[in-house]
Amino acid sequence: MSVVSRGPGAAAIEQAAVLLGPLAERGRPMGELTTYRVGGRAALFSQPDSVADLERLAVAVGATAIPVVVLGKGSNLLVADSGFAGLCVRLADGFARVEIDADLVRAGGAAAYPVLARRTAAAGLSGLEWAVGIPGSVGGAVRMNAGGHGAQTSDFLVDCRIVSLHGGAEHLVAASALDLSYRHSSIGPYDVVTEASYRLEYGDAALSTARIDEVVRWRREHQPGGQNAGSVFANPPGDAAGRLIEEAGLKGFRIGSAVVSDRHANFIQADPGGSADDVKRLIDEVRALVAERLGVELRTELRLVGFEEGS
Ligand SMILES: Cc1cc2nc3c(=O)[nH]c(=O)nc-3n(C[C@H](O)[C@H](O)[C@H](O)COP(=O)(O)OP(=O)(O)OC[C@H]3O[C@@H](n4cnc5c(N)ncnc54)[C@H](O)[C@@H]3O)c2cc1C
């Protein structure tokens, strides 16, 4: 992995490092914190454990104008081999609690979606069973409006708390104000989701647990393991990106250390010890070939960090 070489300039990074002191680390490998497990380092890396920490980060970002990327579980994100020339913010365990109050569930931005699925099911609440198949965090799932098996985050989300690293103070935003649609929200790159509330239905713990087992089984049978970040492209209206990629004859298509999965054509796998830049080249080539052969423009669902075009 190479060290960050591009970006806002060493002086701004240096100034932010001084302002943040022990709240930030320099040159922390970032790719290994993603499910792709490829890619480079973050010039600065911080794991805030409280809203007060986030407010300190906001002061440093405001003073230096360094770019920011918020990292959840890294299950929908590809970091360039050259790394990210800015501040990577990853919520620490202080943001991972889950509280259940009757049919209302409050979860910290760093809580894992599979944990949320299992905790709510065990409490006899129904609605989030499908979330066991999403290897992401609450913050990442709200930002992406993650979904599967006929449901999505916006079906259950009531509101969330957001700290803007362009401004600071934590504020409550109703789900209806987040412009949530298919794998989309209005949450911006400087917004950190610190907590989300969900309203679920009273159900039956045994039935919900059985549904969870079914989702886990389906995922094992239909999705590849290994190093990937789930679906690379969003499904175009009325079609499936995987079906289109397969029809274009691209299952198994390889560039260097990256390959289109034989099992699910919308998954691109990286080899162990592989290169993020190979994954990016393969994404670009698949998009170009699907457009050329089938006349359909695919949009990436995957977030790209540190590449020329940004994410
Ligand atoms: C095997 C596999 C299967 C998957 N299946 C599905 C599926 O069925 N449906 C689906 O929707 N997705 C799926 N995904 C993709 C992924 O799990 C989801 O998009 C998930 O919601 C991403 O969460 P994360 O915490 O990993 O976010 P990351 O990948 O870390 O980040 C994704 C985006 O969210 C932002 N973000 C992360 N945390 C926060 C936060 N606290 N505040 C604000 N912004 C934040 C990041 O900046 C980035 O823009 C799959 C991935 C894998 C590896």
Q: Taking 80 as the threshold, does the pLDDT of residue 185 lie above it? A: yes
From the options 3.90.1280.10, 3.30.43.10, 1.10.1660.10, 3.40.1110.10, give the CATH code of 10-90. 3.30.43.10
> Quick one: average pLDDT of 177-198?
97
| Structure token pair of residue 163 | 């700290």
β-bridge pairing 125-126 and 98-101 = unpaired
- Which class in CATH covers the domain with range 224-305? alpha beta
| Alpha-helix residue ranges (DSSP H) falling in 193-253 | 205-222, 241-247
119 pLDDT above the threshold of 60: yes
Predicted local confidence at residue 219, as pLDDT: 95
pTM of the model: 0.95
Minimum CA distance residue for ligand 1 atom 36? 140
Please tell me the distance between residue 76's alpha carbon and the centre of ligand 1 in angstroms.
4
How far, in Å, CA of 36 to CA of 147, rounded?
Answer: 20
What is the average per-residue pLDDT within 81-107? 97
Tokens of 89: 């913010």
Q: pLDDT tens across 221-259, in order?
A: 999 989 999 999 999 999 999 999 999 999 999 999 999
Give the per-residue pLDDT at 310.
45
Query: If DSSP codes are grouped into helix, strand and coil, which group holds residue 115?
Result: helix
Residue 1 has pLDDT above 50, yes or no: no
Q: What pLDDT, on the 0 to 100 scale, is given for residue 168?
A: 73
From the list 46, 197, 231, 275, the catalytic residue is 231
d(CA 4, CA 70): 17
Cβ(131)–Cβ(116) below 8 Å: yes
- Catalytic residue list contains 293: no
Mean pLDDT for 141-170 is: 95
pLDDT top residue among 93 and 168: 93
Residue 297: which residues within 8 A CB-CB, separation 6 or more? 236, 287, 291
Q: Which residues contact 52 (CB under 8 A, 6 or more apart)?
A: none
Domain with CATH 3.90.78.10 in the chain: 224-305
Q: What's the pLDDT score for residue 2?
A: 34
- The pLDDT, as a whole number, for residue 169 is 83
Architecture of the domain whose range is 94-221:
2-Layer Sandwich (3.30)
> Ligand 1: residues within 6 Å at CB?
35, 69-77, 91, 109, 133-137, 139-141, 143-144, 146-148, 187, 191-193, 223, 228-230, 303
Pocket test for ligand 1, best of 75, 90, 145, 266 (most atoms within 8 A of CB): 75
Segments of the chain assigned to CATH 3.30.43.10? 10-90
Max Cα distance, the chain (Å)? 57
> What's the rounded Cα separation, in Å, for the pair 12 and 29?
20
Q: Tokens for 4? A: 């960050």
pLDDT over 70 at 4, yes or no: no
* d(C-alpha 284, C-alpha 289), whole Å: 9
Going by C-beta distance under 8 Å and a sequence separation of 6 or more, which residues neighbour residue 289? 248, 250
What's the 43 CA to ligand 1 centre distance in angstroms?
22
Cα of 36 from ligand 1 centre, angstroms:
12
In this model, does residue 117 exceed pLDDT 80? yes
| Catalytic annotation present for 309 | no
Closest CA to 113 of 193, 52, 174, 50: 193
Which of 216-222's residues contact partners 24+ apart within 8 Å by CB, and which partners? 216/132, 216/133, 218/133, 218/149, 219/133, 222/263, 222/264
pLDDT reading at 8 higher than 80: no
What stretch(es) of the chain map to CATH 3.30.465.10?
94-221
Tell me, yes or no, if 231 is annotated catalytic: yes
Nearest protein Cα to ligand 1, atom 15: 76
Average pLDDT, the chain: 95
Mind listing the pLDDT tens digit for each residue in 52-78?
Answer: 999 999 999 999 999 999 999 999 999
Q: In terms of Cα–Cα distance, which of 229, 231, 233 is closest to 270?
A: 229
Ligand 1 atom at shortest distance from the alpha carbon of 191:
43
Catalytic: which of 161, 183, 211, 287? Answer: 183
Q: What is the mean pLDDT of residues 2-20?
A: 76
